[in-house]
Structure 1
Amino acid sequence: MKALVKQKAEPGLWLVDVPEPVVGPGEVKIRVLRTGICGTDLHIRKYDDWAKSTLTLPLIVGHEFSGQVVEVAEGVEDIQVGDLVSGEGHIVCGKCRNCMAGRRHLCINTVGLGVNRDGAFAEYVTLPASNVWVHRIPVDPDIAAIFDPFGNAVHTALSFPMVGEDVLVTGAGPIGLMAAAVATHVGARNVMITDVSPERLDLAGKLGVSLALNVAQSSIADGVKQLGMREGFDVGLEMSGHPQAMRDMIANMTHGGRIAMLGLPSEEFAIDWSTVVTSMITIKGIYGREMYETWYNMSVLLEKGLDLSPVITDRFSYRDFDAAFDTAASGRTGKVILDWSDAAPRA
């Protein structure tokens, strides 16, 4: 089968022929239809310091995907050949303290699809049945392919109550855009999103935010005035990993404000801890998705009319992966999708 492989310890990815994966005990084999390009995939392609210290090569990359089930191992229940599915890319041990307590998203032994084991940028992928999410209601395969990052957005946005609250989202990348859409959909009063990319801020406008603010031109305090707010933000969703974004967010929170931080900084940085303490601000780190409450929430949000289609801005054949990766790395787009549906069908 064809697969995108990190073959060499240098920048780049290679489209090569590799053996089809074999279904193991308790696993499901899936014919991949669509994949989404993630920031992690960009790091792997670039082969930066994180990639050098994390990956064992060669590796099939990719963890955002949708596909159709073609084979299930004996004993697997509730998953049928032909089902449209997405995959939870964090594979947990099931035996550590958090797993045993039902907090699987906190598993200390998590293995990442497309990072620690062969991933989904391929014609076929296998996963433990417990990591396969079957779409019981109709979902476009493009949308199903971004359930992983959509889950990050939902996990972040729903960490704190949203109804009637004023919400600040810093970072209008694809996950920030989806988090802003969720906040608006579930009843936040004002949702302001910030970025420096006019293209991404234009996308935010299509998702119904109250204000898409270019922080290269205006301050968050200016945005507060534009919205007619008398106090700071109740909830902050930090999606950029940028030090100044976090500092500005803290400076514009109301007393008792709550911040969910998904953005991953590239290095340590200082913040105003005096304000955090004296304003009694809560900061919560977010990683991945709650298994599988977030997945249930995602499906219901779509069922109840949340429209994520504006977030997907570019589609490419998997054969044009280099152009797709260049587009995703530009920082000016929404989600970039690779289409694998024209790959050779299974004999």
Structure 2
Amino acid sequence: MKALVKHRAEPGLWLMDVPEPETGPGDVLIRVLRTGICGTDLHIRSWDGWARQAVATPRVLGHEFVGEVASVGADVRDVAVGDLVSGEGHLVCGTCRNCLAGRRHVCRATVGLGVGRDGAFAEYVALPASNVWVHRTRVDLDVAAIFDPFGNAVHTALTFPVVGEDVLITGAGPIGVMATAVARHAGARNVVVTDVSGPRLDLARKAGATLTVNVAHTGIGEAQRELGLREGFDVGMEMSGRPEALRDMVANMTHGGRIALLGLPAEEFAVDWSRIVTSMITVKGIYGREMFETWYAMTVLLEGGLDLSPVITGSYSYRDFEAAFDEAATARSGKIILDWTA
């Protein structure tokens, strides 16, 4: 089968013929239809410091996908051949304290699909049935392909109650844009989104942002004044991993405000912890999705009319992966889809 492989420990990706994945009695073999390009995939392509530590070559990349079940193992009961499915890309041990308590999203032994084991940038991918999400209701294939990052957005946006609250989102990348749509759909009063990319701020406005702020030119405090917010923001969602973004967020939160952190910083940086303490601000880290409560919430949100179409800005045949990755690496694009049927 064809697959996108990190074949050597150097920058680049290779489209290669590789064997179809082997499956066991509890596994599902999936014919891939669409995949989404993630920031993780960009890191692996460029072979930066994180990628060199996290990935052993050769490795088939990819963890955002939708496909059709081609076969199931003898022990699989709730997934059938022909089902349209996406997959939870965090494979957990099932035996640690958190897994046994039903908190699989905080398993210490998590292995990432397309990072620690071969992934979905291929004509076929294999997953344990326990990691397969069957789409029981109709869903657009491109949207189904990005359920993984959509789940990050939903997990972040719904970590704290947002009904009637004033929300600040720093970082208008694809997940920040999706979180904007979720927060508005879930009842936030105002959603302010910051970035330094004009095109991405345009996407945030299409997704429902009340106000967007290009922080290269305008401060968050000015946005507060424009909206008449006298005490600051109630809920913050940090999506950029940028030190200045978190510092600005902390400085503009109300007393008792709550911050959900999804953006991964490239290095350690200082934060005004005195402000966090004296303002009694709650800070919570978010990694991935709750299994499978977040997936259920995603499906219900889409059934309720949530529109993710603004975040999808490009689609390519997998054969044109170089152009697709180049576009995904810009500061202008939303989610880029690879079509494995074209």
Give the TM-score category using the shorter length: over 0.9
Indicate the residue corresponding to 2:325 in structure 1: 325
Give the number of aligned pairs. 342
Report the CA distance between 1:25 and its aligned residue: 2.1
Indicate the residue corresponding to 1:345 in structure 2: none
Task: Give the Cα–Cα distance (whole angstroms) in 1 for the partners of residues 106 and 206 of structure 2.
Answer: 34
Indicate the residue corresponding to 1:254 in structure 2: 254
Show structure 1 runs of 5+ residues with no match.
343-347
Task: Give the Cα–Cα distance (whole angstroms) in 2 for the partners of residues 115 and 122 of structure 1.
Answer: 14
Report the CA distance between 1:22 and its aligned residue: 2.0
Q: Does 1:120 align with 2:109?
A: no
| Alpha-carbon displacement from aligned partner over 1:122-175 (angstroms, at most 9, x marks no partner) | 000000000000000000110000000000000001100010000000000000
1:62-211 superposed matches below 5 A: 62-211=62-211
Q: Does 1:11 align with 2:11?
A: yes
| Alpha-carbon displacement from aligned partner over 1:268-324 (angstroms, at most 9, x marks no partner) | 000111110110000000000000000000000000000001100011110000000
AA of the residue aligned to 2:287:
Y
- Report the secondary structure of 1:204's partner residue: helix
- Report the secondary structure of 2:260's partner residue: strand
Task: Give the Cα–Cα distance (whole angstroms) in 2 for the partners of residues 167 and 248 of structure 1.
Answer: 14
Report the CA distance between 1:78 and its aligned residue: 1.5
Task: Give the Cα–Cα distance (whole angstroms) in 2 for the partners of residues 92 and 39 of structure 1.
Answer: 22
1:302-317 superposed matches below 5 A: 302-317=302-317
Q: Is the 8 A contact 1:23 1:71 kept in 2?
A: no
Report the CA distance between 1:226 and its aligned residue: 1.2
Provide the identity percentage.
73
Q: Is the 8 A contact 1:172 1:201 kept in 2?
A: yes
- Report the secondary structure of 1:33's partner residue: strand
Indicate the residue corresponding to 2:300 in structure 1: 300
TM-score (norm 2): 0.99
Indicate the residue corresponding to 2:51 in structure 1: 51
Q: Is the 8 A contact 1:60 1:120 kept in 2?
A: yes
AA of the residue aligned to 2:226:
Q
Report the CA distance between 1:227 and its aligned residue: 1.2
Task: Give the Cα–Cα distance (whole angstroms) in 2 for the partners of residues 269 and 224 of structure 1.
Answer: 26
Show structure 2 runs of 5+ residues with no match.
none
Indicate the residue corresponding to 1:222 in structure 2: 222
Report the CA distance between 1:217 and its aligned residue: 1.2
- Report the secondary structure of 2:28's partner residue: strand
Which segment drifts farther, 6-15 or 225-234?
Answer: 225-234
AA of the residue aligned to 1:134:
V
- Report the secondary structure of 1:43's partner residue: helix
